[in-house]
Amino acid sequence: MKLLIGTNNENKLRQFRRIFVRLAPDIELLTLADFGVTDDVEEDGSDLLTNAKKKAKFYGEKSGLISLADDTGLFIDALDGEPGVHAKRWHEGTEEERYMKILERMKDVPDGKRTCRYTGVIAVYDPARKDFWTYENKLEGRIASDALPGSGFGYDPIVIIDKFGKYYSQLTDEEREAAYRGPGVEELITNSTYFMEQTTYKNCQSCGMPMKMDPAGGGTNADGSKSTMYCSYCYQNGAFLSPEIDTPEKMQAFSKGKIKEMSPFMGLFAGLLVKGIPKLERWKKS
């Protein structure tokens, strides 16, 4: 299937490409440049969700394709939520001039009151169905006393992320993807009925079992549609979402037990199937 990424920001495009190649390689990503679209949608909404939905719908209607757009904002408690949704328009000038202005305004703010958060929203619009799928995530952090330019952009050089214990500008590509766009895309391809219908996986993305060995052909949603991402046992038992199954070892034990239940023949292969289960990103310790 095809998905249009509704942004002219090359940094975002590169990140989305990496994420989809890793999580859903069968989805063909298209850019605005592929359609010769140069329009920039005015982000005049009062919140991030409004802006993201406005962009996704505009590009979706223009291209006729399912379109994804996102919007992010930096919310600083000591500045009453500024720059917030108006991150790019909060202060005239370059990115460096904007983040240096924040440091100037916060020069007398003590460490304990420099809390902030990056909030990101993803919106996907389907022009055929005229509906949206949305996702929101918040990344807690604090404003540093000094800037540390690096590989990031925007306000990244002055934001220290609690989860990683370092500047956003210092994050690796993998860490940056895990911050919000990666989980958002994973949620999209996991729980969006349309994407589950259109994307076929050879192996269960939870236990690693070949999908062709699942007699049910994958989990069944409440509306009768099939999950082509997870086998029927992982899907029905919520293994991929269960907070109790939080280590590779627990996943292997779960998978081995469930595969054995399917048939004596498949049980013979259970041990082999689960030995090679890779450690998923959600089990990596930062």
Report the catalytic residues.
71
Question: Would you state the torsion angle of the CA atoms of residues 88, 91, 95, 98, taken in this order, to the nearest 10 degrees?
Answer: -130
Coil/strand/helix, residue 84: strand
Single-letter amino acid code for the residue at 121: V
> In angstroms, rounded to a whole number, what is the distance separating the alpha carbons of residues 32 and 190?
25
> In angstroms, rounded to a whole number, what is the distance separating the alpha carbons of residues 250 and 272?
16
* Residue recorded with tokens 């082509």: 228
> In angstroms, rounded to a whole number, what is the distance separating the alpha carbons of residues 227 and 201?
10
Name the residue among 198, 197, 228 with its Cα closest to residue 214: 228
User: Residue ranges of the alpha helices (H) in 24-121?
Assistant: 48-63, 95-105
Which run of H or of E encompasses 194?
helix 193-198
Question: Would you state the torsion angle of the CA atoms of residues 151, 153, 3, 28, taken in this order, to the nearest 10 degrees?
Answer: -20
> In angstroms, rounded to a whole number, what is the distance separating the alpha carbons of residues 200 and 221?
15
> In angstroms, rounded to a whole number, what is the distance separating the alpha carbons of residues 21 and 268?
33
Single-letter amino acid code for the residue at 126: D
How far is the CA of 176 from the CAs of 41, 160, 204, in angstroms?
Answer: 25, 13, 26
Give rounded-to-5 percent helix, strand, coil for the chain: 40, 20, 40
